[in-house]
Amino acid sequence: MKDAAAKKREKYEEFLKHVKILENMDEYERAKLADAFREEWYQPDDLVIREGDSLGDTFYLVMSGQAIATKTVEVGKPPVEVYKYGPGDYFGERALIKNEPRAANIIAQS
């Protein structure tokens, strides 16, 4: 069991070294964050975050695959794609930092 936990931590720590916003963390901070990780897997077209949802308590890091952000730009019109995410990208931080509802939809692509 200990080997599995150590391998998991090592995998996450290595990943965190390549996340731009977190690249200045020291090893201790990276280890603590790696221990707090909870992996979630999504299928293509799964909705990860819904625009307007009340405050979320989750910050997401894309480890593999891709996702897109869509946003309602004009009331009554369908949301439009505003950003693409890939490995090393992150989202969900705005709602946590600003204490606001979710600003966009995030949809898994692969």
pLDDT in tens, 63-105: 999 999 999 999 999 999 999 999 999 998 888 788 888 999 9
CB 58 within 8 A of CB 90: no
Q: Are residues 61 and 13 in the same domain?
A: no
As a whole number of angstroms, the distance between CA 28 and CA 34 comes to 10
Q: Are residues 13 and 47 in the same domain?
A: no
Q: Are residues 28 and 74 in the same domain?
A: no
Q: Are residues 88 and 46 in the same domain?
A: yes
Q: Are residues 99 and 49 in the same domain?
A: yes
pLDDT in tens, 38-64: 889 999 999 999 999 986 788 899 999
As a whole number of angstroms, the distance between CA 46 and CA 110 comes to 10
Domain span at 14:
1-37
User: Given a cut of 60, is residue 6 above it in pLDDT?
Assistant: yes
Q: Are residues 28 and 66 in the same domain?
A: no
Q: Are residues 48 and 100 in the same domain?
A: yes
User: Given a cut of 60, is residue 1 above it in pLDDT?
Assistant: no
Predicted pLDDT of residue 2: 61
Q: Are residues 62 and 110 in the same domain?
A: yes
